[in-house]
Structure 1
Amino acid sequence: MIYRFRIVLDNDTEDDVFRDIEIRETDTLEDLHNCITQAFGFDGIEMASFYVSDDQWNQGEEISMFDTSEGYETMRLMSETTITDVSDEKRTKLIYVYDFFNMWTFYVELAEIVEETKGVDYPNLMFVHGQIPTEAPEKSFRSDDEFDDYDEYGDDFDDDFDVDDYESLDFDENWN
Structure 2
Amino acid sequence: MIYRFRVILDNDTEDDIFRDIEIRETDSLEDLHNTITQSFGFDGLEMASFYVSNDAWEQGEEISMFDVSEGTNAVRTMSETVLNDIVHEVQTKLIYVYDFLNMWTFFVELAEIVDEAEGADYPNLMYVHGQIPDTAPEKAFEAEDLDDDFNELDDDIDVGDYDNLDFDENWN
**Same fold, TM-score > 0.5, yes or no:** yes
Aligned match of 2:11: 11
TM-score by length of 1: 0.87
Q: Displacement, 1:157?
A: 9.6
1:62 equivalenced with 2:62 (yes/no) = yes
Correspondence 1:68-147 to 2 at 5 A: 68-141=68-141, 144=144
Which whole-Å CA distance do the structure 2 matches of 1:62 and 1:129 have between them?
27
Conserved? CA contact 2:159–2:165, under 8 Å: no
CA distance in structure 1 between the aligned counterparts of 2:164 and 2:52, rounded to whole angstroms: 52
Q: Structure 1: how far apart are the matches of 2:8 and 2:81?
A: 22
Gaps of 5+ in 1: none
What percent of counterpart residues are identical? Answer: 71
Map Cα deviations across residues 6-58 of structure 1 (whole Å, 9 max, x no partner): 00000100000000000000000000000000000001000000000011111
User: Structure 2: how far apart are the matches of 1:55 and 1:44?
Assistant: 28
> How has the CA–CA distance of structure 1 residues 170 and 55 changed in structure 2, closer, same or farther, with 3 Å as cutoff?
closer
The CA distance in 2 between the partners of 1:175 and 1:22, in whole Å, is 62
Against the structure 1 CA distance between its residues 89 and 143, is the aligned structure 2 distance closer, same or farther, given a 3 Å change threshold? farther
Larger Rg: 1
Q: Distance in 1 between matches of 2:65 and 2:171?
A: 51
Taking the aligned partners of 1:173 and 1:167, their CA distance within structure 2 comes to 10
> What value does the CA root-mean-square deviation take over the aligned residues?
2.6
Tell me, in whole angstroms, the C-alpha distance in 2 between the residues paired with 1:20 and 1:94: 14
Does the CA contact (< 8 Å) of 2:48 and 2:97 recur in 1? Answer: yes
Q: Shift of the alpha carbon at 1:74?
A: 1.5
Q: Which residue of 1 aligns with 2:32?
A: 32
Match of 2:50 in 1: 50
What is residue 152 of structure 2 aligned with on the other side?
Answer: 154
Partner secondary structure for residue 31 of structure 1: helix
For residues 17 and 171 of structure 2, the distance between their equivalents in structure 1, rounded to whole angstroms, comes to: 64
Q: How many residues of Structure 1 are paired with residues of Structure 2 in the alignment?
A: 172
